[in-house]
């Protein structure tokens, strides 16, 4: 009876661990994420072909940097708060570069888009689970 209970617990734990590995933002490809973000921004901001190319490059650049930071964090390379501060600075840099690519009107829409994403993420809606 004890062996059966232990075996059941082990199977459950293994299943849960496998499920956890295959979910959430931990398993995303920065290149694919950049492509999706660029497609969404193209739709939201009516980007032309030249802007699309530049925005994709920008999203890939910062997506790769943030992915590396997440990997370092998962591998014991620092504290969460320091990473959060670095990512905030990176987002500010990304936004400065984005401002150079977009028209003034598009950038206003972009700021509104970012604000809406932040509020959805805080509510646990699409774009964020609300868990940290």
Alpha helices (H) in the chain, listed in sequence order: 2-21, 30-45, 49-74, 80-101, 104-123
Supply angle C-alpha 122, 75, 71, rounded to 5: 55
Pick from 19, 17, 52, 18: nearest CA to 37: 52
Task: Indicate the pTM of the whole model.
Answer: 0.68
What local confidence, expressed as pLDDT, does residue 124 receive? 55
What local confidence, expressed as pLDDT, does residue 51 receive? 97
What local confidence, expressed as pLDDT, does residue 93 receive? 96
Are 47 and 65 within 8 A, CB to CB? Answer: no
What local confidence, expressed as pLDDT, does residue 17 receive? 46
In 3-state terms, what secondary structure has residue 47?
coil
CA separation for the pair 36, 96 (Å, rounded): 21
What local confidence, expressed as pLDDT, does residue 25 receive? 47
Give per-10-residue mean pLDDT for the chain (132 aa): 57 48 59 94 96 96 89 76 88 96 97 91 55 40
Are 90 and 66 within 8 A, CB to CB? Answer: yes
Tell how far CA 38 is from the center of its chain: 13
What local confidence, expressed as pLDDT, does residue 39 receive? 96
What local confidence, expressed as pLDDT, does residue 33 receive? 93
What local confidence, expressed as pLDDT, does residue 81 receive? 84
What local confidence, expressed as pLDDT, does residue 53 receive? 97
List of residues 6+ apart from 9 with CB closer than 8 A: none
């Amino acid at each position: 009876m004890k062996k059966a209970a232990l075996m059941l617990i082990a199977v459950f734990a293994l299943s849960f661990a496998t499920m956890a590995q295959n979910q959430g933002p931990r398993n995303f490809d920065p290149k694919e994420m950049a492509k999706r973000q660029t497609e969404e921004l193209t739709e939201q901001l009516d980007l032309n072909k030249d802007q699309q190319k530049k925005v994709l490059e920008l999203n890939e650049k910062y997506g790769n940097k943030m992915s590396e930071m997440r990997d370092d964090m998962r591998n014991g390379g620092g504290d969460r708060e320091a990473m959060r501060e670095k990512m905030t600075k990176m987002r500010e840099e990304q936004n400065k570069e984005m401002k150079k690519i977009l028209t003034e009107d598009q950038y206003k829409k972009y700021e509104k888009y970012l604000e809406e994403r932040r509020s959805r993420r805080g509510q646990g809606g699409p774009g964020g689970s609300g868990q940290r």
